[in-house]
Amino acid sequence: MGNHSKPFDSYIFPRINKKVRNRSVLAAMTNKQSHSDGVLSDREIKWLTRRAKDGFGIITTAATHVSKYGQGWEGEFGIFDDLFVDKLKVLTKNIHQYDCLIFAQLFHGGMRAPEKLTGKTPISASRIPCEQSSTGFTSSANVKEIKQLINDFQSAALRSVEAGFDGIELHGAHGYLISQFLGEKTNLRDDNWGGDISGRSKFLVTIISEIKKVVPESFIVGVRMSPEIKELGIYLNDSLKLAKILSKTGIDFIHLSCWDCFKTSSEHLSDKRTLTEWFTKSIPNLPTIISTGGIWSTKDADNVMQQGADLIGVGRAAIPYPDWGANLNYEKYDPPKMPFSAEQLLKAGLSDIFIDYMRNWKGFIKDE
C-alpha cells in the first residue's frame, strides 16, 4: 500500500523486488491500429514505444484477445496464437530500450465480442440479452467451455512470457467476460461458477492460479477491476470482498479502474471516501495498487497517492502528452485538457486510424 511519496519516485514490486523508474502507468487503451488478422502493427508499436521513450514507468498494451472469438473491436491485436509472438517480441524489445516495464492486457470480450466480427454467438457466464448476437442472446458457457477459456488465458500468459513482457494485466473490468462472471446480473449460474462473490470470482481466481502454475516466479501478474458497474450487478461491497480474495492469490497488483479518481461511491452517497480509499483504507495486505481515472496534473497524481495508490495510471492524458510520466518531476505540471488538434496527435505518435477513433470520444478532437 501507498507510502505517500512523490509520484516521480521509483517503486519496487515487493514480491519480486522489481524496480519501476517512476510511478506512472500508461493504462490500457484500445486504439484499433493493428491488422485485421490480429498481428500487432508497426503503428501500434510506435504509439507505445514513444511513451516508453518519453518517460512512462510502465506501459500497458491495449486489451488483446486470448481466444479468437473473444475479439472486441476491429484493428485489435490478438494473442490467441503462437504466430503473434514474433511481432510482440519487437514491441517488448523496443520498450525495454528505455528502462520501462511492459504488461500485456489479456481479455476476452464475452458478450461484447460482436458476432459480426467473430462469426460466432458471443459466449458469457449465462444466457443473457446481447445486442451483439444475431439471436439477441449470448450462449451460456458450459463447464467444458469454461475450462477452455481458462486454458486460453493460461496459453496467452505463456505467450506473453515468451514474447518478453514483464507481466500481464487480466482485464476484469469494464463489462468484458471476466466481469460478466463477476456481475450479479450477468452471472445467473447455479453451479459452483456462480452464486455469491466467492462463486462468481471462481473463473478469475482459477485463471490466476492456472497462470501462476506455469509462468516464472519473476513474472508480474495483476488484475484490473471496476469497483462499481450497476448495469452488470457489480457492487462495491462485493468488489471489496473480491479484492480480499485476490489479495490471497499471490497476484502482484490490483488496478482499480475508477474513471474519476476523485469521485465517491455512487452506492454510499453520504460516505466521503473516494473509490480508491474504500479499498486502501479498509483492506490490509493489499498487493500494489494502481488507480486510474481523471488524473491530469502532478497535483492529481499526488492526491491519488495520498488516497493510498502506489502507482498512477493515465489514459487520455497520455494521448497528447507522451512525456506525461516524465513531467511528474515538476510539481506544477498541469497540461491543458481536451480538445486537441489532429496535428498535435499526429506529432504525438498517433496514426490517422487512432485519431479517427478518438473522434468517438466526445470533445477530444478539435473541430477543424
Ligand X SMILES: Cc1cc2nc3c(=O)[nH]c(=O)nc-3n(C[C@H](O)[C@H](O)[C@H](O)COP(=O)(O)O)c2cc1C
Q: What residues line the site for ligand X (CB under 6 A)? A: 27-30, 62-63, 105, 171, 173-174, 224, 257, 259, 292-295, 314-317, 361
Query: Of 219 and 321, which CB lies nearer to ligand X in the complex structure?
Result: 321
Identity of the residue, 50 or 171, whose beta carbon is nearer to ligand X in the bound complex: 171
Nearer to ligand X, 8 or 47 (CB): 47
Give Cα separations from 160 to 60, 106, 156, 208 (angstroms).
12, 9, 6, 14
Give the C-alpha distances (Å, rounded to integers) separating 346 from 61, 337, 356: 19, 17, 11
In whole angstroms, the minimum distance from the beta carbon of 190 to ligand X comes to 30
What residues are paired with 160 via a beta bridge?
Answer: none
Closer to ligand X by Cβ: residue 139 or 291: 291
Can you tell me the distance from the alpha carbon of 336 to that of 345, in angstroms, rounded to the nearest whole number? 14
**Residue nearer to ligand X on the CB measure, 123 or 225:** 225
Place of cell 471496476: 226
State the minimum distance, in angstroms, from the CB of residue 222 to ligand X.
12
Tell me the residue number closest to ligand X, measured at CB.
315
Give the burial string for 96-115 (b: 16+ CB within 10 Å, else e): eebebbbbbbbbbbbbbbbb
Measure the CA–CA gap between 60 and 324, rounded to whole angstroms: 15
**Min CB(292)–ligand X separation in Å:** 4
Length of the chain: 368
Q: Least CB distance from residue 105 to ligand X, whole Å?
A: 6
* H or E stretch at 115: helix 115-118
State which residue, 139 or 324, has the beta carbon closest to ligand X: 324
Shortest approach of ligand X to residue 73 CB, angstroms? 9
Query: And the C-alpha cell for 28?
Result: 490500457
235 near 222, Cβ under 8 Å?
A: no
Place of cell 506529432: 347
Q: Smallest gap, in angstroms, from Cβ of residue 62 to ligand X? A: 5
Do 172 and 182 meet the contact criterion of CB atoms below 8 Å apart?
yes
User: CB of residue 347 vs ligand X: minimum separation in angstroms?
Assistant: 18
Nearer to ligand X, 315 or 349 (CB): 315
